[in-house]
């Protein structure tokens, strides 16, 4: 009996056995051996490299509140497979799990392991692994030319000059005037301006278009690119188009749950996760190849980044996930809102222990909202945001809540500057540009631009 015929016989047996123990969905690219026997297909976003940043405070899934996060189960399972050593994962835990080959759905993974094992035994090597090791990157590639934001990251690495970035949501209009007006508030104050990509699963002008508008106006944009709405073909095409329009800084995200936004009936895609998107874009930039292996006529010059969320479970595995992203190509990291200095200090302690701050610029998210009510709403409705009650109570008790919110942000920035390895701050506040610009100058990060002299 040949292997293909044997595979057709083996598939239902495999499905029954793995379905009973692991809720197997027969994806055809089994990763159980490197995900602690927790099937990634059980993840609400089908992430091959989790967890996402939206895990709830109780450890449950962003999309399925009644279900524990698959990647918490995976981490615990991997520790058990290592023999229960406290905090010690197997070497394969930090390696990237390749994206699904959707042609294999319903096929036996066992038969592929058997055939790969036979080939490797004949060649004198071990059996195939689902995880794919990736070579490490330096913070800045000295060979290729760099843009202004990349230079800012290099300058921090050399002299400690603190990086400042800010986030702006694209407009709900084809007229770019309002976007340019909002961006103009930060002239001379920031190193780059992030443009969100359907943040919160709400529809706006595309991040590629908005970032291109800013680039044409002389700004330095960071184009956020999420995996929720596009498959790997569309993602590569969009990033290539952005590069053609002068956008070289790309922040890779997995993406928010569609049920939180204004189109909850929409179909999420999640063909890739952030780690695999980084790997693919790195291949386009460094090797001049699409994910398919087909050569590009000219490679785009990209400066790739990713996100991190040290403020939600699983706390112990957040640095491992960060390391996967850096291995895959991220050279700057922007975190979720930081309202808890204790958690960021713990996170950075492990980051320093692994030397990750030397390979990527760690830029911590800081923000302000207009009231304690708005802060409570965000903590309750925005997945991945953690706000200690002490912060909310302090702002609620203030006579001027907006001013108190700014003071909290300024104090947080001063504290972050004292933490070794923190390269900068990423300022966020929905349509609150005036307050963010004020925070930048009041805490001494940058000097307010002088008004032009009148002739």
pLDDT of residue 116: 59
pTM of the model: 0.92
Please determine, for residue 327, whether its predicted confidence score (pLDDT) is greater than 50.
yes
pLDDT in tens, 255-282: 999 998 999 999 999 999 999 999 999 9
Please determine, for residue 117, whether its predicted confidence score (pLDDT) is greater than 60.
no
Name the band, by pLDDT with cuts 50, 70 and 90, for residue 438. very high
Please determine, for residue 128, whether its predicted confidence score (pLDDT) is greater than 90.
no
Name the band, by pLDDT with cuts 50, 70 and 90, for residue 218. very high
Q: What is the CA radius of gyration of the chain?
A: 23
Asked if residues 238 and 250 have their Cβ atoms less than 8 Å apart, the reply is no
The distance from CA 323 to its chain's CA centroid, rounded to whole angstroms, is 12
pLDDT in tens, 83-111: 655 568 998 898 899 999 999 888 888 77
Domains located in the chain, CATH noted: 3-132 (no CATH), 148-442 (3.20.20.220)
- State the Cα torsion 429-432-435-436 to the nearest 10°: 50
pLDDT in tens, 278-321: 999 999 999 999 999 999 999 999 999 999 999 999 998 999 99
Burial of 346 (0-12, 13-18, 19+ CB in 10 A): middle
Rounded mean pLDDT, 182-204:
97
Of the candidates 290, 300, 295, 282, the one whose C-alpha atom is nearest the C-alpha of residue 231 is 290
pLDDT of residue 6: 61
pLDDT of residue 57: 92
Length of the chain: 455
Please determine, for residue 119, whether its predicted confidence score (pLDDT) is greater than 60.
no
List all residues 6 or more positions away from 424 whose beta carbon is below 8 Å from its beta carbon: 156, 162, 163, 164, 165, 191, 361, 363, 364
Please determine, for residue 20, whether its predicted confidence score (pLDDT) is greater than 90.
no
More confident residue, 327 or 369: 327
Please determine, for residue 124, whether its predicted confidence score (pLDDT) is greater than 80.
no
């Amino acid at each position: 009996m040949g292997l293909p015929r044997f595979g057709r016989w083996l598939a239902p047996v495999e499905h029954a056995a793995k379905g009973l123990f692991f809720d197997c969905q027969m994806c055809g690219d089994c990763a159980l051996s490197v995900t602690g026997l927790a099937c990634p297909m059980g993840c609400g976003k089908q992430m091959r490299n989790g967890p996402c940043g939206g895990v709830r405070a109780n450890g449950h899934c962003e999309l399925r509140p009644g279900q524990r996060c698959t990647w918490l189960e995976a981490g615990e399972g991997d520790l058990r497979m290592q023999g229960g050593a406290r905090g010690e994962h197997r070497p394969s835990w930090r390696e990237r799990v390749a994206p699904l080959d959707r042609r294999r759905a319903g096929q036996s993974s066992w038969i592929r392991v058997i055939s790969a094992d036979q080939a490797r035994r004949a060649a004198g090597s071990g059996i195939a692994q689902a995880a794919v090791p990736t070579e490490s990157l330096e913070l800045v590639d000295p060979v290729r030319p760099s843009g202004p934001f990349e230079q800012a990251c290099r300058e921090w690495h050399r002299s400690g000059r603190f990086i400042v970035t800010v986030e702006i949501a694209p407009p709900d209009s084809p007229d770019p005037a309002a976007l340019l007006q909002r961006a103009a508030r930060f002239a001379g104050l920031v190193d780059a301006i992030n443009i969100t990509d359907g943040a919160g699963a709400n529809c706006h002008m595309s991040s590629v278009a908005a970032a291109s508008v800013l680039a044409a106006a002389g700004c330095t944009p960071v184009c956020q690119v999420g995996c929720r709405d596009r498959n790997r073909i569309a993602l590569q095409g969009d990033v290539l188009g952005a590069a053609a329009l002068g956008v070289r800084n790309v922040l890779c995200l997995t993406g928010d749950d569609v049920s939180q936004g204004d189109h909850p009936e929409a179909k999420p895609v999640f063909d890739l996760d952030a780690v695999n998107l980084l790997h693919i874009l790195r291949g386009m930039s460094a090797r001049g190849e699409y994910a398919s292996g087909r050569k590009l006529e000219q490679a785009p010059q990209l400066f790739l980044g990713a996100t991190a969320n040290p403020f939600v479970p699983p706390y112990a595995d957040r640095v491992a996930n960060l390391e996967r992203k850096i291995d895959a190509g991220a050279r700057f990291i922007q975190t979720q809102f930081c309202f808890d200095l204790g958690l960021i200090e713990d996170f950075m302690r492990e980051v320093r222990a692994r030397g990750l701050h030397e390979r990527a610029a760690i830029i911590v998210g800081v923000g302000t909202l207009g009231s304690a009510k708005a802060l409570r709403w965000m903590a309750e409705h925005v997945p991945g945001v953690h706000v200690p009650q002490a912060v909310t109570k302090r702002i609620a008790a203030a006579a001027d809540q907006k001013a108190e919110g700014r003071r909290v942000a300024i104090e947080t920035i001063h504290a972050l500057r004292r933490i070794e390895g923190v390269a900068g701050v990423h300022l966020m506040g929905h349509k609150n540009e005036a307050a963010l610009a004020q925070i930048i100058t009041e805490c001494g990060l940058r000097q307010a631009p002088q008004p032009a002299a009148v002739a």
